[in-house]
Amino acid sequence: DAKTTQPPSMDCAEGRAANLPCNHSTISGNEYVYWYRQIHSQGPQYIIHGLKNNETNEMASLIITEDRKSSTLILPHATLRDTAVYYCIVRVDYGGSQGNLIFGKGTKLSVKP
């Protein structure tokens, strides 16, 4: 079973920030938080990942709480093309050993004009 909990769906107005929450209360010290998204009938696309510090790249920002039990993916200016299912995944990455990406049900984000 996936080790994360996400709301099944969210709506966001075009041009606004989309904030997608994820709970991972059982995360362990050597597990990273990864975010992928899947646009309809395509393969998943990597977005961002982090361990404990906040991360930002050209696609999104990842905010991880200090206790690491939850995180938020932020799309600063959502567009219609950001409509997709967003998956939050925790995965071991320690000393050259990496766990598998196990997908939960994700959050279906609908960006509306």
Partner 1 sequence: GAVVSQHPSRVICKSGTSVKIECRSLDFQATTMFWYRQFPKQSLMLMATSNEGSKATYEQGVEKDKFLINHASLTLSTLTVTSAHPEDSSFYICSARDGSRLAGKRNEQFFGPGTRLTVL
- Size of residue set near partner 1 by CB under 8 A: 18
| Rounded Cα–Cα distance for residues 65 and 58 (Å) | 21
Tell which one of 43, 53, 66, 81 touches partner 1 (CB under 8 A): 43
Stretch that binds partner 1, among 14-22, 23-31, 72-80, 98-106 (CB under 8 A): 98-106
CB-CB contact of 22 with 81 (8 Å): no
Instruction: Report CA-CA distances (Å) from 80 to 41, 112, 113.
Output: 16, 7, 7
Nearer to partner 1, 7 or 44 (CB): 44
Helix (H), strand (E) at residue 70: strand 70-75
Asked if residue 98 binds partner 1 (CB under 8 A), the reply is: yes
Asked if residue 44 binds partner 1 (CB under 8 A), the reply is: yes
